[in-house]
Chain A
Amino acid sequence: MANEGSRSDLSAPDASHHAEPESPDRRQFLDTASRTAMVAGVVGGYGGFALIAGKYLYPATTGDVMWQFVSEVEGIKVGESIRYRGPSGEMINITRMRREGTADDFIALSSTCPHLGCQVRWEGQNDRFFCPCHNGEFDPSGIGIGGPPGDAGQSLPRYELRVERGLLHIAVPPPRFASAEDRSGIVTADEGIVGPGHDPCLGCESDRPGYHGGEELV
């Protein structure tokens, strides 16, 4: 509105009274207008930059997933649970429930408690996941059944799995850097990675049938 006003105010006298000396009103108006434009420029310019900076700092979530090899299907016994670390560091409990040899035999659940972020552990004898921080309890399918997660109706996030040629794969977020050192793989009780890591073919001939370079299988 201010701009429209200024345009008509400025154009009318300019056209008809070309030689008229500057009036104090006009001077006052130009002074206010230029100050307003200056403040608008400063606020707009640096405000815009602040917005960009905020967006830059807010971590990007792409929603991308990649398929990673976990283990041979027969490497995990029924009732057994293994801990797996994804390429971007997330810890996942993978438990075998049945013996049919398909992906439905397994359930992969985040081992991070949705209450306050502690690591849950599988208790076979009690048939539950247990969080030691605030006595949170989850049933084998990850639904909260006791403690704070049970009260709040929180569940452990689930990861998608698939079996190809007897090998179990999991869909996990990709690493931050494509070429960063890959520390994903099965984790033992003392936090060490089991065996040759995530790649079944590490150290063997790359032309072996079924070799996928340990990376995306899509």
Chain B
Amino acid sequence: MSVASWFGDRLPISGRQFQELTNEPVPYHLKRWWFALGGTPAYLFIVQIITGILLAFYYESSPSTAYQSVEHITTSVSFGWYIRSVHKWAATLMIVAVILHQMRVFFTGAYRNPREINWVVGMCLLFCTLMTGFTGYSLVYEQLSFWGATVGANISDTIPFVGGFLKRMMLAGDAYNQSTLSRFFVLHAAILPVTIVFLIATHIAVIRMQGVTEFQFKDEDEGTARTFNFFPDHLYTELIIGLVLMVVLSALATILPATLGPEANPLQTPEVIKPEWFFYVAFRWLKLFTGTAAVLSMGFIVFVMFAWPWIDNWIRKHTRFQEASVWIGILGVVTIIGLTLWEAFARH
């Protein structure tokens, strides 16, 4: 009995069926690199899982040894600096890719009826990615980790009604204590990645059910093929992107390796304290407005982002501004870039 028939008897699916199942016809516009941005964060997420598992072999999530274990990984373990730096840079690029993918979807109106649900799933992915980034740099237990977590917890404390509860859940007490780091570790290495896996699966399932939005570009003939095969054509594209990303990540990890700031000191807040770049917007916003007003306005903006497909639909139905979303989007992007640069260059 051949190996193929042995498996064939036990797994009742033929090669042809399997090919049909996995072979989503891909719209022709995905031949353009700009449209392969959805696969990029997914690829980087796999890089994060692999390097994250490797880091977890040596990382210790106790305040007394966390910093030393990161130092040990960076300076003593073979290629530890490389694994840690790739993890850090892949996180940065993943956030960039998620934001670029979301901008592409926004400006091409790909979130409109019937794709509202996938927009919401995508928004959840964005916030899970940001949360993973936040809990990730909290684990290093350098000054930024400690004070970032403290400030973050106190921000959530200002949310009316549930703030106090959220803060206590986050810190495992009223202030940063011995149990806090374990919570961040479990969130970072278990809860958030598993949530992201489920969200990505939903995201892809919904795409498969609805089909990818098709675009016709002006420079294309009417007779151009509408679709091409996922396997192997689009998979090759993704493979090339994967290899290029590995080269970019390795280059960044070598040229700009992940550094280690001073160890967390609960008794002394540093003179200048800033979060990671992807929170610069929120950090500057919190400086512009005070306390609950800042948090509530930020919450309102997040709500608008989630509900945008419906808000956009309402604007298109009830006003004559059919492309209002483009102008609102440009305004949003300019504001985000402006606040980020302001926070990046301002000393306080």
Contacts and interface: CB of A to CB of B under 8 A. Distances in A.
A58 B78 contact: yes
B64 interface: yes
B246 interface: yes
A52 B82 contact: yes
Interface residues on A, range: 20 to 34
Contacts of A60: 76-78
B246 A56 contact: no
Contacts of B71: 177
B107 interface: no
Interface of A: 38, 41-42, 45-46, 49, 52-53, 55-58, 60, 62, 176-181
Q: Give the interface residue-count category, chain B.
A: 20 to 34
Contact of B243 (A41, A58, A176, A181): A41
Q: Main SS of the interface on chain B? A: helix
Interface string B242-253: 010011000000
B182 interface: no
A53 B54 contact: yes
A49 B87 CA distance: 13
A177 B72 contact: yes
Nearest to B247: A45
Given A55-B78, A56-B77, A56-B80, A180 B68 contact: yes
Contact of A38 (B76, B80, B236): B236
B239 interface: yes
Contacts of A41: 243
Contact of A52 (B68, B72, B79, B240): B79
A90 B247 CA distance: 42
B54 A56 contact: yes
Given A55-B79, A177-B65, A181-B64, 19 more contacts: A38-B240, A41-B243, A42-B239, A45-B243, A46-B246, A49-B246, A52-B79, A52-B83, A53-B54, A53-B79, A56-B79, A58-B78, A60-B78, A177-B68, A177-B69, A177-B71, A177-B72, A179-B68, A180-B65
18 contacts: A38-B236, A41-B243, A42-B239, A42-B243, A45-B246, A45-B247, A52-B82, A52-B83, A53-B50, A53-B54, A53-B79, A55-B79, A56-B80, A56-B82, A58-B78, A62-B76, A177-B72, A180-B68
Contacts of B83: 52-53, 56
B142 to A, nearest CB: 14
B57 interface: yes
* Chain A CB within 10 A, most for which of B68, B71, B236: B68
A180 B68 CA distance: 7
Contacts of A53: 50, 54, 79, 83
Interface string B79-113: 11011000000000000000000000000000000
Interface string B212-253: 000000000000000000000000100110010011000000
Contacts of A178: 68
A49 to B, nearest CB: 7
A38 B77 contact: no
Contacts of A55: 78-79
Contacts of B69: 177
B226 to A, nearest CB: 24
Contacts of B65: 177, 180
Interface in B47-82: 50, 54, 57, 64-65, 68-69, 71-72, 76-80, 82
A127 to B, nearest CB: 42
A58 B69 CA distance: 16
A55 B80 CA distance: 9
A181 B62 CA distance: 12
Contact of A57 (B57, B236, B239, B243): B57
Contacts of A56: 54, 77-80, 82-83
Contacts of B50: 53
Contacts of A45: 243, 246-247
A38 B242 CA distance: 12
A186 to B, nearest CB: 24
Contacts of A176: 72
A52 B87 CA distance: 14
Contacts of A181: 64
A47 B97 CA distance: 25
Nearest to A175: B68
A56 B53 CA distance: 12
B291 to A, nearest CB: 39
A57 B239 CA distance: 26
A51 B78 CA distance: 11
Contact of B239 (A38, A58, A62, A177): A38
Chain B CB within 10 Å, residue with most, of A41, A46, A56, A178: A56
Contacts of B72: 176-177
A55 B79 CA distance: 7
Nearest to A41: B243
